[in-house]
Amino acid sequence: MSATVSQIDELKTTPWAGGRSPYNVEYGKMMMWFFLLSDAFTFSSLLIAYGALRFSAPTWPLPSLVFQSVPGTSIEHGAPLVFVGLMTFILIMSSVTMVLAVEAGHRNAKKEVVGWMIGTIIGGLMFLGCQALEWTHLHSEGFWWSAIPNAETLKEFFEGNVPLVQQQMTAHQFANLFFTITGFHGFHVFSGVIINIIITINVLAGTYEKRGSYLMVEKVGLYWHFVDLVWVFVFTFFYLV
């Protein structure tokens, strides 16, 4: 390279002139963002479809009646939101340990990164365990894809006098949407846990120490926070509204 700067090079100094990355973000991280954007479209399509079906239904199983037990304990009635509150707390907590891992990565503190990553993995596994309990509980009541409880049990999930045909129709829709959407989210949590384990092994092996940056931890961190983000919406639209 010569010491004099040619005119063409001088033109390339503004962010969008092609001289440097306008986003100032590494390729893989940018691609993770774009993947998450596409994933956001997928999840919103599912949730909006749920909303449209629920809006167009004359009635709907009440969340405070469907989710009023604490699976894994003897509490069967009168405790709405308790179990899902625990699940939400676990997921938010694991998001916190993830950012702490990223923060430790900025300081190149390998041991701390490993510790927080393991915390995140444990949080993810706990969430999956809770989801398994929740699904098992609903399944024991008779809910599954295209399966609903018998008329006697079904009655408990509606307030007032709802005709049985309407109960069955909306319970069917509820069951399909619930298992599909929480299932798709749970699959994301599961793959997130697997990716986190792989990254933790790489951290332990010193891969990122040699590379001089823990950017990979940031990228999986983005994915993990996205999973938490989706849960925030699933929680609101399935359990609160």
Partner 1 sequence: MSSENTDLHHAEGGHGHEDTMTRGRIWKVFFILLAITCIEFFIALVLVPKGTVPLHVANPIYIILTLLKAFYIVAFFMHLKFERKGLVFSILVPILFIIGLILVLTNESHHWITLRM
Q: How far is the CB of 211 from partner 1 (least distance, A)?
A: 4
Q: How far is the CB of 156 from partner 1 (least distance, A)?
A: 17
Identify residues 181-220 at the interface with partner 1 (CB under 8 A).
Answer: 210-213, 215, 218
CB hemisphere CA count around 201 (13 angstroms):
5
Report the distance separating Cα 18 and Cα 13, nearest Å. 8
Report the distance separating Cα 181 and Cα 168, nearest Å. 20
164 binds partner 1 (CB under 8 A): no
Q: Give the Å distances, CA to CA, from 18 to 33, 88, 99.
A: 21, 44, 32
Number of residues near partner 1 (by CB under 8 A): 59
Contact stretch for partner 1 (CB under 8 A) within 38-46, 121-129, 171-179, 198-206? 38-46
40 binds partner 1 (CB under 8 A): yes
Q: Which residue has the tokens 């994301």?
A: 188
Identify residues 96-125 at the interface with partner 1 (CB under 8 A).
Answer: 96, 98-100, 102-103, 106
Residue closer to partner 1, measured from CB, 99 or 142? 99
Residue closer to partner 1, measured from CB, 22 or 139? 22
The answer to whether 51 and 38 have CB atoms below 8 angstroms apart is no
Among 110, 137, 172, 225, binds partner 1 (CB under 8 A): 225
Among 11, 15, 31, 73, binds partner 1 (CB under 8 A): 15
Residue closer to partner 1, measured from CB, 140 or 198? 198
For the record, the structure tokens of 33 come out as 């963002």
CB hemisphere CA count around 159 (13 angstroms):
6
Q: How far is the CB of 179 from partner 1 (least distance, A)?
A: 21
Contacting residues toward partner 1, per CB under 8 A: 15-16, 21-26, 30, 33-34, 37, 40-41, 44-45, 48-49, 51-53, 55-58, 64, 80-81, 85, 88-89, 92-93, 95-96, 98-100, 102-103, 106, 210-213, 215, 218, 221-222, 225-226, 228-229, 232-233, 235-236, 240-241
